[in-house]
Structure formats: structure tokens, C-alpha cells
Structure 1
């Protein structure tokens, strides 16, 4: 199936700088400062959500996906609240992820180690954000392409089995997958899954896909500093 050239309302050109640790702190502060009753995503869920948005078979306009960042129910901002700075930071991360996914290059997911948590618990916020995007924008799952089952299973295996009761084909594949041994392996599997999904939903036409089988230098995970709460 042919797909149109990718365009996006978020800046995607090379001059858009990736977020540094200070930017990430600021983004988390701005999300946390959104007034009640809004329930915004945290930065880990946001990162997974943006990947789920970018992987859709057709471009999702920013006006459709941005409300989900600010509130899980998509409620509008109250009058007088300015989210321009927040959304500018989100747009920069969207652009960074889109460049990596389009080029099939490695990216560092916003996942933070927790020595006291199980591996799946550490990645679950990112996975939940990804799942929220697929629930909001069902075109990806509606493709029903068998090539999507394995990479989706690599992501959704971090959910409890009872949360996947309506996804029997996915459960069957998950049962055949050996869980990641540590967080580094789990992160690598998530990035690999994103690239495999992109091969189906947004195939490259000018060059064969180049999937990151491993992060350069092995499985080591480099994550930004954990944002302040």
C-alpha cells in the first residue's frame, strides 16, 4: 500500500534541537502545573504517546493529538492558561522522534531506572502512553497486518494478562516471548518494536529499512536525568 509523504504540524527539520535535561525538567514542571481537573501525561507516558502518534499509517494533525498530552480525557485548557511553552517543548520531542523513526535510527526512550521496581513496572508508563495513542487513533491496529503482531507483543507484554483479554492473538505471541532480562534489554526491545512497526505503517521507499538491532555499543541504556516532580 502506498503512503503519502510525511508531513507534520510539529517541526521536523534538522535545526530543531533535541531536548536536554534542563528542557526535560522544564517540560515536567509545566505538565505538573496544569490546573485541575486536567490530568496531563508525565514525560514517560508522553514519550510513548508520541511514538504511537508518529507510527500511525496517516499523519495525525497536531490539533488532534495535542489535547491528549494536556489531559487524558482531552478536556480543553481553562481560559487564560497559556500552554505555548509546554507544547513547543513537546513539538521538539515529536520532531526528534520522527526524525529517528523515519531514518530507522536509535533513539533513547524517556524511561527511568527504578532499582526497587520490576522491569515491566519501569517501562509501563511509556507503554501506557503508547497504548493511549493507539486507543485514540485506531488506524494502526485496524490494519490487521500479521507483521504488526510481533512488535506490538514486544510492547504490550509489559501489561498484565487481564488487561489484554480482548487481544487473544497478541496474548498468544506474548506467551512465546522470553521477558527481557533487565531494563537495558527492555528498552532495546521497545525501540526495535517501534522500528518494526514503522516498516509496516510508514515503509521507506528510497532505501531498505535499517533496523537498530542493538544500541550502538551494546545494550547499555543512556537516559536523561530523571525530571523533578
Structure 2
């Protein structure tokens, strides 16, 4: 059987599965359809391209959930906009460390750079599926002892309510990028897959207060942008 025929047969069977439910392995379907695993893999890759399934590395294939709607012109935090869309959101703290330089550190003023930066790496989940690997960089000169606060739930809330800086504007750079071994491990996606890379520079007035990098599996979000004349 050709892989497109198998793809159609699998697509029909997906109606019997729930969102985020694991589906049969490539080996099982190769035996069922009397074909090679490579043929089944091509069928699965086509279904992934159609956003019907997704893969977690070293685990298996799953039925896709609805995508997170990402609004680039919004400053709402992850927890707020995912919950508003009906997702169960949670966050794991991966690591924190003080760094002197990173890509983007030269954007900050000399005064902000004087004491270095706190790097905070978190893994975000929607309905228990890892969907976002996030790096936050905060100048220690502006946010001393920031780790004494609840940065796991929301860095933005800590900055706003504990240090009294408002987020007044952001600049975003969005591109597709390869997946590093670190991102592959935590997001559960193959290193051969590309991801959506979002770099966000946040300001309070004219002062840059945060540099944020978001890495999303491409099949987890859709960009929505309102444009007014």
C-alpha cells in the first residue's frame, strides 16, 4: 500500500481517539497494513503536516489538541491567555543562574548591565503537554533578589507587582529555527524538526526591563494579529 492510502486509513481511525491520546506505533501499523515502517512513518509525517497528530520523541505519536492562539500584539502572560482559551496551564522551573552576557545583552543600558543578568529557564505546559521552552533575562541592577519571588508562575507579575515596573511596549522578532538538543529533550520533539522562535524585548517607558526568548513546537500555536488602518 502507498503511504497516502495508509494516511487516509489512519485519519479515519483518528476519529475514535481523544485529543492528546497516544495512537498505535509505527511498528504495529506496519504489521497491520503489511508494509514497511518507513511507509507508516511517511503517512504519520503527512498527518503531522496537516496538524492532525504530533510526536513526542522517545514516546510516540498523539492526536493533536487545538492550537494555542498566540497574539503578538498582546502583553498577557502565558498563564492568562492559555487559561482564557480553555487550557490547563502549568510551569516547571528548569534552571536559574547569573550570567554576564547573552544574545541581546548589549541592548540594555550600561547601568542595567553593571551587575549582570538573572537567567530563568522554564518549561510551559498546556493540558500536560510541553508547548513552550522559555528563557527570561532580567538585569540584576533593576531586580535584585528576584528569585525570592514567584518567578515560576509569572515573571511578568513579579516585575509589575513586586518591583513596580509596568510593561508599556514590546518588540518582537519571530522566525523558524532548528531545535537544539536541549529544546528537543524538554519539548519532546525531534532535533530534525523546526520550531517557532520568538524574541521579545520588553520596555517600561524607554527602559528595557526584560529580554525573553520563546521556543514553540510549530504544531502548538497559531499567530493571530489584529491590524487596524
TM-score (norm 1): 0.26
TM-score (norm 2): 0.26
Structure 1 or 2, whichever has the larger Rg, is 2
Q: Which has the higher strand share?
A: 2
Higher normalized contact order (CA 8 Å, seq sep 6+, divided by chain length): 1
